[in-house]
Amino acid sequence: MPTRINPWSLILVVILAYWLFTLLGGNNTRTSVSYTDFIAYVEEGKIARVVLQEGRITAYFKAPQRISVGNTTETTDRFTVVALPSGYTDLELIQLLRKNGVEITNRPPSIWGPLLYSLLPIAALIAFWWFFFMRAQGGAGQVMQFGQSRARQYGKERRVNTTFKDVAGHTEAKRELMEVVDFLKNPQKYITIGAEIPKGVLLVGPPGTGKTLLTRAVAGEAGVPFFSVSASEFMEMFVGVGASRVRTLFEEARRNAPAIIFIDELDSIGRKRGAGIGGGHDEREQTLNQILSEMDGFEKDTSVIVLAATNRPDILDPALLRPGRFDRQVVIGLPTLEERKEILQVHMRGKKFASDVDVHALARLTPQFSGADLKNLVNEAALQAARENASEISQAHFQAALDKIMLGLERGTLKLSEQEKRAVAYHEAGHAIAGEVLPYADKTEKVSIVPRGMALGVRWSKPEERILMSKEHLEDTLAMTLAGRAAEELFVGTITTGAANDFKQATSLAKQMVLDWGMGDHFKNVAWGSNTGPIFLGEEIAKKQDHSEETSRLIDADIRTILDRAYEKAKEVLSRHAEAVHRLAEELLESEIVQGERVREIIAQTQKPEAVAPTAFNPEA
């Protein structure tokens, strides 16, 4: 890591040094007296000794004196006098001093004071210029790197201790990467038989899924040095800096071969050239070209392998993906249920847990969590336990950590009026009851009307592990999502702004149904691409719309139809179970949190007998 020195502190040091210097060089005397007073003291015979110096005289009393300086008085044994201007040398002074028996010392003029004085502005100028130059070079954090070895601008580890054991799940990826490990360990085997060695491997997956971890594990398993850099660090103000950094990085790696280079966030420089906002950015392009030519320049027997990570392989420049470059892709997806369990176990190693901790249940509650999220969950639970001075981490600590991560902290200070509370209670009751009654929706874990984070109330669901989502599930999920607002409309009489987030979620889901999954009335089996997910602004703008205006209108109509249908469905189930909604809302107002079990009980108790099953006597039901 570069040493962080603030340039302003440098300037401060210069000023301080000067001040200190003049202080010491000036005989340490600050009490200053007029020439007339000085003569008077000499004539009174109070002065023992004087030091004559260019520009000033320092006088020493025989014994400390109380003298008046300006408006105040002070006791001192010495004082300074500003000497007469040169050319007005007081010839009588020497005589007067001698007559009064004052010891005279003569000191040559100090050269340091004036020298420093004249150098100061130059020093300040240099510091100023340095500051801006270095800033342009590498951000404020690297200001003082001037003249330092360039090798320090990226992470380098000679020995990596991470192994595949530290990476949970990702079995296929590990198998792929085993080959890289083997090559790094026994390059000769491959070279003798004339096999082409992989030069670049692209790890594709969302952030936090363990791409960096896997690469480190490859280096650790093979026992080779690990060089890492984030592509965004190449981006500099000055054109050419990025490219030269790439050069030094590859040089260093080659010198230490066999070795691994890891480039994180490859998409930040590897974007298609000429695409998107900032397309044709000279610096980006030069850096990218440098990477390409470095990889092309590898000799057949250079055992340096470049691993790169990205979340958006689709926006990468095709040149990067050509044979001999990043021609292998390894997909690192979000962990499955089993993998989440393993990851939790990896991070629970070496910590103390109560016997009630249910890893399987935790894995089930965290469907969209990445490896990094799960690690964070374990850590939050540990913090929670520490806060309570508990000796081990329990399931309750995990639950609290989970709630905090997913929903933000409870906001006990937020005070709602009775009316607002009622609206929130009905809103959440609406979600909960609809979720229970709709056959394909996720069931309720618990409901609460304690404000947390941005939300005034929450309904936790117990999602099931799904790889494929059926249309029925999607439709019921939509209805459940909109049931909050539906309950407000049906039972509270007014509608509130509390449903904004529900609408956003529902709309984006409906959009995906029409655009990605061919579920619109007009577009069976067509996928236009909804572009939801991590949006890369430039790409989206640059991308031409590949459907006509008429199609756009139909797409909008389909999305609307899906949402309207879901809302009607929500209203329908809630009116059918109005009794249950009322009861749940009342219980929420009373105790703030209601468990899923209780919700199901309420529904069972309020169910009208004829709704259970149609019979010959009651064919309407």
- Closest approach, Cβ 170 to ligand ADP, in A, equals 6
Among 343, 357, 434, 559, binds ligand ADP (CB under 6 A): 343
Residue 273 in contact with residue 162, Cβ under 8 Å?
no
What CA–CA distance (Å, rounded) separates 357 from 547?
Answer: 52
- 168 contact choice in ligand ADP, Zn ion, none (CB below 5 to 8 Å, kind-dependent): ligand ADP
Quick check: 340 binds ligand ADP (CB under 6 A)?
A: no
Instruction: Quote the least distance from Cβ 373 to ligand ADP, whole Å.
Output: 8
Complex with ligand ADP: residue 180 or 213, whichever CB lies closer: 213
| Catalytic, out of 428, 488, 539, 587 | 428
What is the three-class DSSP state of 618?
strand
Question: Toward Zn ion, which CB reaches closer, 267 or 436?
Answer: 436
Helix intervals (H) in 408-499: 418-437, 471-487
The answer to the question of residue 341 lying near ligand ADP (CB under 6 A) is no
The set of residues, in sequence order, having a beta carbon less than 8 Å from that of 284 and lying 6+ positions away, is: 235, 242, 269, 271, 278
Torsion, Cα 517 522 524 530, to 10 degrees, reads -20
CB 254 to ligand ADP: min, Å: 24
CB under 5 to 8 A by kind: which of ligand ADP, Zn ion, none does 320 bind?
Answer: none
The candidate with the shortest Cα–Cα distance to 213, out of 336, 69, 354, 309, is 309
Contacts 24+ apart (CB under 8 A), 32-37: 32/69, 32/79, 32/80, 32/81, 32/82, 33/59, 33/67, 33/69, 33/79, 33/80, 33/81, 34/81, 35/81, 35/82, 35/84, 37/67
Q: Is 168 in the site for ligand ADP (CB under 6 A)?
A: yes
Other CB atoms within 10 A of residue 449 CB: 26
Residue 502, interface with Zn ion (CB under 5 A)?
A: yes
Residue 534, both tokens: 């991590």
Closest CB to ligand ADP among residues 346, 589: 346
Asked if 309 touches ligand ADP (CB under 6 A), the answer is yes
Q: Sketch the per residue contact string, 347 through 386, with ligand ADP: x for CB under 6 A, - otherwise.
A: ------------------------xx--x-----------
Give the CA-trace dihedral at 576, 578, 580, 582, to 10 degrees: 170
Q: Is 428 a catalytic residue?
A: yes
Q: Which pair of tokens denotes residue 508? A: 């984006």
Q: Scan residues 176-235 and list those touching ligand ADP (CB under 6 A).
A: 207-213
CB atoms within 10 A of CB 400: 19
Task: For residue 313, state whether it binds ligand ADP (rule: CB under 6 A).
Answer: no
> Binding partner of residue 463 among Zn ion, ligand ADP, none, CB under 5 to 8 Å per kind?
none
With binding defined as CB under 5 A, does residue 484 bind Zn ion? yes
Please choose which of Zn ion, ligand ADP, none residue 484 contacts, taking the beta carbon within 5 to 8 angstroms, the exact cut-off set by kind: Zn ion
Q: Which residues bind ligand ADP (CB under 6 A)?
A: 167-170, 207-213, 309, 343, 346, 371-372, 375
Q: Which residues bind Zn ion (CB under 5 A)?
A: 484, 502
Catalytic residues: 428
